[in-house]
Amino acid sequence: EQYPEPLFTNSVIHGDIDVYDSYEVEDISVIAHGPYEKSKKALTNADGAFLISGLGNGTYEVEISKEGHGTKYHYGIQLFGNDTVWIRDELYERMNGIKLPELYEVHTSDYYDFLSEDKVVITTNRSQGEIPARVFLSEDKEVSYKNFQCTRQAHSVNRRGFDTLLLFVENLPFQSGRKVYLRVYICNPDEHYGYFNKKTGILTFSTLEKDERSSVMSFTMP
């Protein structure tokens, strides 16, 4: 088997890449993976701009990465003849080395009267500080970052008189009386919305630490 030869090699992918909360946008790696044997790579300049030229016709996947930051992908970029395609994206710093504390229980408004019906808190073995955590929730007990109905950033809350730090999760869309499962992961809280991965069909967070996660926990919506 041999790789195909392109009919045209005059297409270009160019664009701009930012780094959240930083001006260090030089030397970000941008790689175009296409239907041919070799991928083509470019590095961003001091303004975050890049250009990859001489690309053959076909469908490409673009990989954007920087050491210490999350990696993002753009799928299904189609080039024909002399096409020029522009893309823009933003990278976020990974939360390397941060460990998820021990999580005790999920509590609802039935337990804490300061909670409304669409909010829960998770008690932890920490007494203070911040935990950069994202919560994935589902009515399926096999909930994970790949199998979820909704996801929320968890806010660390220190309440006066409490000896444990609370992870506060709000705006839950589940109906009253439904059993809900959740799993917590370490993830950069600045990456609020993630991006839709067209290849897998799920919302993806580039800085999510897949191995730094809790066990599955459950609660009943009040």
Q: Which of 61, 29, 23 is nearest to 43 (CA)?
A: 29
d(CA 219, CA 206): 28
Q: Is a pLDDT exceeding 90 seen at residue 4? A: no
Whole-number pLDDT of residue 123: 94
**pLDDT attached to residue 1:** 67
What pLDDT is attached to residue 2? 77
**Average pLDDT over all residues of the chain:** 94
Stronger pLDDT, 180 or 2, i.e. the higher one: 180
What confidence category does residue 185 fall into, taking pLDDT thresholds of 50, 70 and 90?
very high
Q: How many CB atoms lie within 10 A of CB 172?
A: 22
Residue 68 has pLDDT above 70, yes or no: yes
pLDDT at 198: 86
Prediction pTM value: 0.90
Residue whose token pair is 């897998």: 200
User: What was the pLDDT predicted at 50?
Assistant: 98
Does the pLDDT at position 161 exceed 70? Answer: no
Q: Which residue has the higher pLDDT, 163 or 168?
A: 168
113-132 per-position pLDDT tens digit: 889 999 999 999 988 889 99
